[in-house]
Amino acid sequence: MEPKQTIRVLDNDQGYITLLDHMGSEVDIVNAARVSYDKYTDTMRERDHKLLRYLIKNQHTSPLEMVVFKFEVYCPLFVTRQWFRHRMWSYNEVSRRYTSENIDFYIPQNFRKQDKKNKQVGSEQLDAQTQENLGREIEVATKQALQLYDNLLEKGVCREQARMVLPQNLMTKFIGRTDLNNLIKFLKLRDDSHSQWEIRVYAQAIKELIGTIVPTVIKECFHGDNAEN
């Protein structure tokens, strides 16, 4: 496949997502759709793009499952917990039961006020001075948590217990794999105005990473007449 592509995200580029591998392309989608007729093609022609648009518009999505993507994701723990709610992915994550190395924390530069109408999300940003002060407070808190963690390990506490004092802004790494159909569902939910910004930027990066592999699918799902957002 092509060289691995990585996009950095979050404040100060503290996170990233890498497209590790993929299987299949839009040709495989239309071939799966036409297998009932025992018909195949090697290249995408206009009628194939038309068929692809028809499949998406009419929600005949099982052929999309013939295309699979695998990513490496480096993100805060609280983003991972949102991500893992999407159960049609396969995941493997760095475990703090096995390693106490490469510990880092996400320190945001921008803090949002709680939206007055939507209990799920934040709205406009706090003033600059308040944001700067809060950033320093978070840095202090995470350093204290890390010191306590190191102290527990030095006193002989096992890693699987010591990790419980590490906060939700701990950066973690996981590998995730899913098919295109379920990836599109993920993107529709996570690149939405109601989604948390810290996971939304990953969804936007995924669109960019896969855009050259399945361009018609991306255009039809997110920029076509039937796009929902």
List the catalytic residues.
190
> In the beta sheet, which residues pair with residue 15?
9
**Rounded to an integer, what distance in angstroms lies between the CA atom of residue 137 and that of residue 143?**
10
Letter for the amino acid at 127?
D
Asked whether residue 159 is marked as a ligand-binding residue, the answer is no
Nearest Cα residue to 90 out of 3, 20, 192, 4: 20
Note whether 57 and 220 are within 8 A (CB): yes
Asked whether residue 197 is marked as a ligand-binding residue, the answer is no
Asked whether residue 137 is marked as a ligand-binding residue, the answer is no
Asked whether residue 84 is marked as a ligand-binding residue, the answer is yes
Tell me which residue has tokens 């709610």.
85
Asked whether residue 195 is marked as a ligand-binding residue, the answer is no
Distance of CA 214 to the CA centre of its chain: 18
Asked whether residue 93 is marked as a ligand-binding residue, the answer is yes
Asked whether residue 228 is marked as a ligand-binding residue, the answer is no
Binding residue ranges for FAD: 62, 85-87, 93, 179-181
Residues within the annotated binding site? 62, 82-87, 93-97, 163, 179-181, 190
Binding-site annotation, residues for dUMP: 82-85, 93-97, 163, 190
